[in-house]
Amino acid sequence: MRSIILTAILSVICTPLLALDQKTDSRSAIKKELAKPVVRGGIVFKSYCAMCHGERGDGLARAAKLHGVTNLAIKPNSQKYYDKIIRKGGAAVGRSEFMPLWEEELSEEQINDVVSYLMVVGDAMYRGEVVFKTNCILCHGLKGNGKGRASVLYDPPPADLTHSDKNDQYKRMIITYGGEAMGRSPAMPIWGEELSKQEIEDVITYISTLLVKD
Ligand code: HEC
Ligand code: HEC
């Protein structure tokens, strides 16, 4: 619950920041378009779907047991299929009626966003991008260069992840246990309680794509 509230608060803070930062993002136009709905879709998913499907759509949630269904994992499928089952509910596509219909509860935008999110959750790099943009950009910046909007508040400043000389094991440790445990600034938060092991692996995969060689 705490992480849902935190994600919701962060999303309110980050959405306008993302819009600002995105003007200077160097990646392709298509990816820029895709990134925002996916990030928003991840927030919709955590708020409305995770209680049954699990935080990562892997079906490992407590409510799944209540419905007597043991596996609520969302399998890779077409955009059309996701769109239909989400709008019309499970019964409409010959699946369990415990999958609610969402077209009355969610806005058009929320439905499109959560479909975009489901299209990318099968990909570790994209999953990591969602984790990064939801939790890290305020300090490390959209490009990971350490120049996020809140970076001025910290001394030492948030690390420039585009020029990090640390290996994955070190990153895993500092992300999981926080800066202080590693003899660094306590301003680098402890993420081991907020993020799952999988999310931490995914964000490590993503930040490795931000490295700039020069
Ligand atoms: C009350 C529990 C519950 C909630 C909340 C819920 N679902 Fe479902 N969902 C189910 C059940 C049950 C199924 C059907 C499983 C089956 O028949 O095999 C399902 C099936 C699905 C499927 C098809 C999975 C597949 O691999 O065929 C998708 C996609 C899906 N849900 C997306 C969502 C999204 C997106 C949300 C949030 C907006 C959501 N669900 C919220 C219970 C839920
Ligand atoms: C509140 C600000 C803040 C947030 C949010 C934050 N960090 Fe940090 N992070 C820092 C600071 C400050 C440092 C540098 C600490 C130092 O140099 O003593 C740091 C350092 C790091 C380092 C070490 C890099 C290196 O090369 O030494 C990694 C990796 C890192 N952060 C990853 C993340 C990830 C991933 C997230 C999101 C899940 C995140 N951080 C969120 C402030 C933050």
User: Of the ranges 74-88, 103-117, 143-157, 177-191, which one carries the lowest mean pLDDT score?
Assistant: 74-88
Distance 188 CA to ligand 2 centre (A): 5
Vertex 45: Cα angle to 37 and 126 (nearest 5):
55
Work out which ligand 2 atom sits closest to the CA atom of 138: 5
Work out the pLDDT band at 5, boundaries 50, 70, 90: very low
Question: Could you tell me which residues come within 8 angstroms of residue 62 by beta carbon, excluding any fewer than 6 positions away?
Answer: 51
Q: Average pLDDT for residues 49-64, to the nearest whole number?
A: 71
pLDDT of residue 88 exceeding 80 = yes
Question: Which atom of ligand 1 sits closest to the CA of residue 72?
Answer: 15
Ligand 2 test: best mutation among 139, 151, 176, most atoms within 8 Å of CB? 139
42 falls in which pLDDT band (50, 70, 90)?
A: confident
Q: Which long-range contacts (CB under 8 A, 24 or more apart) does 186-192 make?
A: 187/139, 187/153, 187/154, 187/158, 188/158, 188/159, 191/135
Ligand 1 geometric centre to CA of 56 (Å): 13
Query: Atom 20 (ligand 1): residue with closest C-alpha?
Result: 99
Q: Kindly give, in sequence order, each residue whose CB lies less than 8 Å from that of residue 186, ignoring residues fewer than 6 positions away.
A: 178, 179, 180
Q: Which amino acid is at 131?
A: V
User: 156 preceded by cis ω (within 30°)?
Assistant: yes
Distance CA 199, CA 129 (A): 10
Higher pLDDT, 191 or 73: 191
pLDDT at 154 over 60: yes
Who wins on pLDDT, 67 or 186?
Answer: 186
For residue 54, what pLDDT is reported?
80
Q: How far apart are CA 49 and CA 164, in angstroms?
A: 36
Measured distance CA(93)–CA(110) in Å, rounded? 21
- State what percent of residues in the chain have pLDDT above 70: 76
Q: What is the reported pLDDT for 106?
A: 97
- Cβ atoms of residues 148 and 141 within 8 Å: yes
Please list every protein residue whose CB sits less than 6 Å from any atom of ligand 2: 135-136, 138-140, 154, 156, 158-159, 161, 164, 166, 171, 174-175, 179, 184-185, 187-189, 191, 203, 207
Q: What is the mean pLDDT of the chain?
A: 82
Cα-Cα-Cα-Cα dihedral sign, residues 159, 165, 171, 174: negative
* Nearest protein Cα to ligand 1, atom 14: 96
